[in-house]
Structure 1
């Protein structure tokens, strides 16, 4: 019964927070009754296929400004949380996240390079350099026989530093206007969300999350070790390659859409694990729900607490660091506990 209640919360929690997020914004608070009325009007318009009718000012704010931002925020939060969760399961290491393997820093460099030299789309550039970073991390840690988990994490930290240095060089070479855009983007930037960004990010993030969800049962086998996985007929190398590729795709797409959001992919999987246990069958869905909802709440706070908007990446670092220290002090990140 308790497990069913938790699953019900995973479904209802994002819907409640999404509805609540629509009511908040720098332009003012919209009451629940008014928001319900505007929502019902929008549904009637869609049902009657008269969406081309002009919007009122409030409707424009709700459906053209707040809603795309909310949807993009939820997708990015879900992507980073799921990516961190599956990487921790694969490498059986509680401190692994998309930053650990260089995915985020590589994607950040690729996106910034595309901003500076617009030869290819930002999302494609971010994905290619994210893959490149992971590939270099793997090659550096490969010893000729097998890849040590500790060596791979350490290699990822080195590659992260290298791509961060390259990103700094791009910032130094940029003109003031592009420099400002790159700096704001590296802090996690959601105020530029639009329906175009939602559509661009939906296919790689949505498709990647669906594929990971379909493979979630194999994550439990990988978490037991390569020998145990091979004993039941699963090729661990191929599955790891596929899942790391999917994690790279959704992380790179998230980074390309909103910039770098630190610590998020590290902390949320631990929260999901504390609440739902180590079973990846439900852990993947828990990370989707909790990750998207948590980032939505952080974004609500960042755009409502002050007259000006603070980048969401700053809040994830400020809130995430003490939370992770608390979990560490409580021994909640010790997987052997």
Structure 2
């Protein structure tokens, strides 16, 4: 009895230490993100001094006297600020969605793209570029087909009884393969001089097309998805239990799964509609977060969102500043993500828990 009491006290102390560690890590990550955000506003082909960049940003809130030129104003407010904000938001959303899906499916190799949403949104964007070059039309088509792909995945998974999550993954693979084939068809019929290069570059992911005008729809929708997942993070831990155990705790497991899938799908579809397909973020960042704060989703989801925002903002800075021509984001995320998974496999031996 004394040993059991001692074990219980030890576990309680450990959980408390992990919670405190998660809070400290989150505060440190937010500070790092603020520093990187200011650096993102300053660096580029046209360099802006940090103090001047800070004053320009502060002028949005306070009535400061303008001591800078129109060029600095345009570079900071029209070009770099929207891009940095969307990079952070999309990175946070994809990472939170990836962590949630890994908990939902009980699989460490699951990412937000597993249900075919990226392929569907990619097809919608490619079709939009083929029909019209209007950015709002392209984003609308990508969003519509991204959501349609997940609906198709859900309907296919219900055709036959069986393990619901297993059927959902198989249906996602089928739906993704179908839309990938349709993307190839769009490339095949596209004009090789103008349309095809635009489609290929867009599908590889880039923040270059983001402006203050076309980010108005994306911000509230991605925020809605992130906030939903953060509010559900207390219950996502229960998804690792069996259905009977979850029901005994008073949790409607079906509604919880639908809510998690819906929020992660919304984030992914909107992200792809804005900046194309960005791989590895929702796969790599949750594992980094687990190495820092553990498997408890109460700390894991906020940490994943913060690290994801930091990670994609850093990647975007490298993409636009490393060379004269901008590097597609998916190239950089894959170059960094693949070696990390090799390291993780060597460290864990496949025991991802």
Fold match by TM threshold 0.5: yes
Corresponding residue of 1:168: 184
Q: How many Å apart are 1:37 and its aligned residue?
A: 3.0
1:200 to 217, 240, 252: 217
Contact kept in structure 2, 1:187 and 1:259, CA below 8 Å: yes
Q: Distance in 2 between matches of 1:45 and 1:104?
A: 35
Contact kept in structure 2, 1:270 and 1:333, CA below 8 Å: no
Corresponding residue of 2:44: 25
TM-score by structure 2 length?
0.86
Between 1:206-215 and 1:175-184, the stretch displaced more is 175-184
Q: Distance in 1 between matches of 2:281 and 2:56?
A: 36
Q: How many Å apart are 1:13 and its aligned residue?
A: 2.0
When the two chains are superposed, the root-mean-square deviation of aligned CA atoms in Å is 2.4
Label 1:71 to 1:227 Cα distance change in 2 as closer, same or farther (>3 A): same
Q: Distance in 1 between matches of 2:224 and 2:22?
A: 27
Q: How many Å apart are 1:19 and its aligned residue?
A: 1.1
Give the 3-state SS of the residue equivalent to 1:47 in structure 2.
Answer: coil
Q: Distance in 2 between matches of 1:74 and 1:41?
A: 20
Q: How many Å apart are 1:148 and its aligned residue?
A: 4.6
Between 1:276-285 and 1:248-257, the stretch displaced more is 276-285
Contact kept in structure 1, 2:26 and 2:306, CA below 8 Å: no
Contact kept in structure 2, 1:137 and 1:159, CA below 8 Å: yes
Q: Distance in 2 between matches of 1:168 and 1:41?
A: 45
1:47 and 2:62 matched = yes
1:331 and 2:331 matched = no
1:93 and 2:107 matched = yes
Give the 3-state SS of the residue equivalent to 1:195 in structure 2.
Answer: coil
Runs of 4+ in 1 over 4 A off after TM superposition: none
Q: How many Å apart are 1:91 and its aligned residue?
A: 0.8
Q: How many Å apart are 1:294 and its aligned residue?
A: 0.2
Corresponding residue of 1:114: 128
Larger Rg: 2
Label 1:194 to 1:50 Cα distance change in 2 as closer, same or farther (>3 A): farther
Corresponding residue of 2:324: 307
Give the 3-state SS of the residue equivalent to 1:325 in structure 2.
Answer: helix
Corresponding residue of 2:13: none
Note the residue ranges of structure 1 that are not aligned, 5 or more in a row. none
How many residue pairs match? The answer is 331
Q: Distance in 1 between matches of 2:240 and 2:277?
A: 28
TM-score by structure 1 length?
0.90
1:67 and 2:81 matched = yes
Alignment map for 1:1-337 (pairs within 5 Å): 2-27=21-46, 29-30=47-48, 34-44=49-59, 46-48=61-63, 55-117=69-131, 121-142=137-158, 144-175=160-191, 176-331=193-348, 334-336=351-353
